[in-house]
Structure 1
Amino acid sequence: MMPSASPPSTAASPRILLWLVAVGFFMQTLDGTIVNTALPAMATSLGESPLRMQAVVVAYMLTMASLIPASGWLADRFGTQRVFFWAIVLFTAGSAACAMATDLDELILARILQGAGAAMLLPVGRLVILQHFPREQLLPAMSFVAIPGLIGPLIGPTLGGWLVESASWHWIFLINLPVGLVGALATTRFMPNIRRADTGRFDLAGYAMLVLAMVALSLALDGLGGLGWASALVVLLMIAGMAALTAYWLHALRHPAPIFPTALFAISSYRVGVLGNLFARIGSGAMPYLLPLLLQLAMDFSPAEAGMLLLPVTLASIGAKRAVPDIIHRHGYRRVLIVNTLLLGVIVASFALMAPDQPLWLRTTHLALFGAVSSTQFTAMNTVTLKDLDTELAASGNSLFSMVQMLGLSLGITCASALLHAFNSWFGPGLASAASAGQLPAFRAAFVAIGLMTVGAAAVFWQLKDDRPVQG
């Protein structure tokens, strides 16, 4: 049965819907970039090691990855407008709780609440776009939404550094409150309440298996990242995670209505796109975490200076967005993703060459190149994954894709932290000590390792068919 829509109080044009969805993306990206830049200052305030602060980022992303599988069913059952509204409310309440946290444990719990709201923003917003735009307009629509969403990273690093130095880290969460208020009001006015009349029962058993798999694997990587856990516990967590993932696959094969039907993986572009996204985002997802730490811990930049230096990444990302559709139309998804993934891996590895005495023009050019290539990568990956989904599989396929995105980013941060701990134990003193160029070898080795991981993702995109998007 086709989805039905309850019209909002004021009929919204497609352009207004795109901007409304972009508000949700803005909230997510603003929060993520501000937190990454402020981690060293937050660690000092809370009396923690800078690298232990990874839990603040991982808790947020892992919560999103864990709750995203339910977003498709919730949107179908209760409607896109209602779910999107309450997602904004939860996100805003979580932001207020983060600002009131007095220790690391409280901050992590507040980030979990914030992540619970953020988990619904991305997939429900993307689902509205999939339902409202024909296939030939999907690529430009996705690109349009991504541009306003990049305003968050544009102002996040600089604003976060300035707030940390001029006020306190608490304000990096408080600034979400007015944005959340505007977004909630706009949702009630302009967002259609699309829902399906034939929504079945939620696959609770399958959902529990998926969450167990994600949490166990993530905690296992955290155990390798310096939490001091015994090797036996790490191995047990890894085995439990893989067993839960296998159990879900067997469950989905026999369940009449699983959260993510196995029919999704019969679609070649979706199958390759999801797997490619996972492995490519493990590599690139580590960069927003590693770069601020490199600049502040190993090169002795202030938070504000580090934020300013990250501006070229987002400016170049915005500039590249408009060119990506033409590039894909000319060369096709397969060729663009293979070449761009290889280039992205090389650029990530090349950050190992960064040094405190580099000229400013070289450093900004390097960061801008990374931003442009990353923008091309994400736009191409996102579109190739979703382009062949039909109406019946749109909600579940969109939710799985969003879950994989967040899981990849979370695993990227945990992998980066584990690599830093391992290489730091080989090359020099603990990263909890004062900033020193002597910490550079650990960062350099981590960048090379992550770059190699990203290069390996090109083998996944090699499996794509050599096709080009439909001209709109």
Structure 2
Amino acid sequence: MSQVDGQIPAAAPAAAEDAAGRTVRGWLVPAIIGSALLMQTLNATVLHNALPTMAEALGEEPLRLNLAITMYLLAAAVFLPISGWAADKFGAKRVFVASIVLYAFSSAACGFADSLSELVIARLVQGVAGAMMMPVGRLVLLRTTPKNELVGAMSVLTMPALLGPVIGPVLGGAIVTFGDWRWIFFMNLPIAVVGLGLVLRFVPNVAEQQVARLDVIGLLLTGLGLAGLIFGFENLGRDIMPAWAVACLFGGGFGCAAMYWLHARRNPDAILDLSLFKVQTFTAAVVGGSFMRFAMGATPFLLAMLLQIGFGFTPFQAGLLTFMSAAGALIMKTTAPPILRRFGFKRVLIINAVIVAASFMAYGLFRPSWPQWAIMAVLLVGGFFRSLQFTSLNGLAYADVDQPQMSRASTMSSMFQQLNQSIGIGLAATLLHLFMTWSGQPQMTADTIAPAFMVFGVLSLVSLAFFVRLPRSAGDEMNGRTRED
């Protein structure tokens, strides 16, 4: 049989099979994993835009509804440390499939909730499922993709997930304006069914041959520490808990973190590998990048409050505006690899950090008198450069990490990202409360919301202290740069 007949020559089946495998690993698997993650990003962006309407339906203050976001992030942060171990023990594909199923069931529970307490409980379960999705999905790529192809593979991975922020604000605004807010959770069910089928069919199972015993003590210390810190930020300055109780939360959180540091020094199989912070590029990306991620976690929440409560827009109107930020991020995905090859990680991170900080501050200048096209233009530009920074940080984090440490590096990076979002939202709610108190306003207004963007813009500039110390060649293996470049 000839090649003209469309058949593979008998002498080259292995080569053809290997080429097909590379094709699948190159774009199909990242796209499928990213499609499964669409549930998370879609749900998050829809929920931010729906908070004021949900608060009214449940008889709660809008600021109280941020508990539904914070508790999800809390559960995700607490259970993230176990995700890498579970993937090694039971297989990445098995864990990924289980997380999709659990996410779908908990989404249905959120949709049937009749009170804030029921919603928070369902969101906690949803956070446990979400804790397994991103790190385990990323782990498949890290173990099957060469480093010089990793930036491109991660861009493919995040493109389907970015559809959530693009269509989420508009879809969420339409649902709560013209329908029932419960459908923001029910719509996850068909996505879960399709994603589950694709994962079962195409995503390979990646497992370690040797798995260390689960570090139960480390898991408890990290879980209690993260819970204390997140609840501390959640209640800071709110007058919901007495000051001594908030201080105890912070003290317990930092105390558990210190105890874990002592525990990890004596335990080579600790649940979180602290030796990763000896890798400069990993520390710069994960720790230095945290200051920008604080603002990224807070921005959707703050924009929903500003546009709907401050400006009086409907959720649908607000969604039409804020989706431009995600549209800019989606446009950037095709340009990030060539930008990084041309200028390198260090230069991009330094210059872009200033641009991103300026974009956060520009959001605080929005006023109801601004034409909508001007607001959309600022959001589009801000989304583009913010996504470039996010892609750069994600790639740089794994530039100098050895293959045996990839599982723990993925877990550590994901845990920091979830924690950063929790801190960002908690800090945003605290700032809103403080600005209301200082101005003597009983309710949120545009004037009490806008200054929060300025605070986050300044805070994001702290990351420059980490980026300027990087060598000029940092991450060059990831993007194919040479010294001549």
TM-score normalized by structure 2? Answer: 0.92
> Does 1:316 pair with 2:328?
yes
Q: Say which is worse superposed, 409-418 or 353-362, in terms of deviation.
A: 353-362
Show the 5 A alignment for 1:220-299: 220-226=232-238, 228-299=240-311
Query: What's 1:122 paired with?
Result: 134
Counterparts of 1:240 and 1:374, CA distance in 2: 34
Query: What's 2:8 paired with?
Result: none
Counterparts of 1:120 and 1:157, CA distance in 2: 25
Counterparts of 1:356 and 1:56, CA distance in 2: 28
Q: Give SS of 2:397's match.
A: helix
Query: What's 1:13 paired with?
Result: 24
Counterparts of 2:24 and 2:361, CA distance in 1: 44
* Paired amino acid for 1:443: I
Q: Displacement of 1:401 after TM fit? A: 0.3
* Paired amino acid for 1:115: G
Q: Deviations over 1:350-377 (max 9, x none)?
A: 2221100101221111111110111111
Percent sequence identity over aligned pairs: 36
In structure 1, which of residues 41, 63, 81 is the aligned counterpart of residue 53 of structure 2?
Answer: 41
Show the 5 A alignment for 1:145-160: 145-160=157-172
In structure 2, which of residues 448, 460, 473 is the aligned counterpart of residue 454 of structure 1?
Answer: 460
In structure 1, which of residues 372, 395, 410 is the aligned counterpart of residue 422 of structure 2?
Answer: 410
> Does 1:379 pair with 2:387?
no
Query: What's 1:113 paired with?
Result: 125
Show the 5 A alignment for 1:214-225: 214-225=226-237
* Paired amino acid for 2:470: L
- Asked if the contact 1:272/1:460 (under 8 Å) is kept, the reply is yes
Query: What's 2:64 paired with?
Result: 52
In structure 2, which of residues 196, 204, 212 is the aligned counterpart of residue 200 of structure 1?
Answer: 212
Bigger CA radius of gyration: 2
In structure 2, which of residues 98, 102, 108 is the aligned counterpart of residue 90 of structure 1?
Answer: 102
- Asked if the contact 1:428/1:442 (under 8 Å) is kept, the reply is no
Counterparts of 1:322 and 1:469, CA distance in 2: 19
Query: What's 1:7 paired with?
Result: none
Query: What's 2:180 paired with?
Result: 168
Q: Give SS of 2:206's match.
A: strand
Q: Say which is worse superposed, 50-59 or 326-335, in terms of deviation.
A: 326-335
- Asked if the contact 1:345/1:455 (under 8 Å) is kept, the reply is yes
Gaps of 5+ in 2: 1-19, 481-485
**How many matched pairs?**
457
Query: What's 2:451 paired with?
Result: 445
Counterparts of 1:159 and 1:225, CA distance in 2: 33
- What is the aligned-residue RMSD (CA, Å)? 1.4
Q: Say which is worse superposed, 376-385 or 183-192, in terms of deviation.
A: 183-192
* Paired amino acid for 1:462: V
Q: Give SS of 1:286's match.
A: helix
Q: Say which is worse superposed, 441-450 or 293-302, in terms of deviation.
A: 441-450
Query: What's 1:392 paired with?
Result: 404
Q: Give SS of 1:396's match.
A: helix
- Asked if the contact 2:288/2:462 (under 8 Å) is kept, the reply is no
- Asked if the contact 1:225/1:414 (under 8 Å) is kept, the reply is no
Counterparts of 1:17 and 1:413, CA distance in 2: 32
Counterparts of 2:162 and 2:239, CA distance in 1: 33
- Asked if the contact 2:344/2:472 (under 8 Å) is kept, the reply is yes
- Asked if the contact 1:162/1:304 (under 8 Å) is kept, the reply is yes
Q: Deviations over 1:258-303 (max 9, x none)?
A: 1122321221111221101222211221101100111000000001
> Does 1:358 pair with 2:370?
yes
Counterparts of 1:20 and 1:172, CA distance in 2: 22
TM-score normalized by structure 1? Answer: 0.94
Q: Displacement of 1:227 after TM fit? A: 5.0
Gaps of 5+ in 1: 1-9, 433-438
Counterparts of 1:51 and 1:198, CA distance in 2: 47
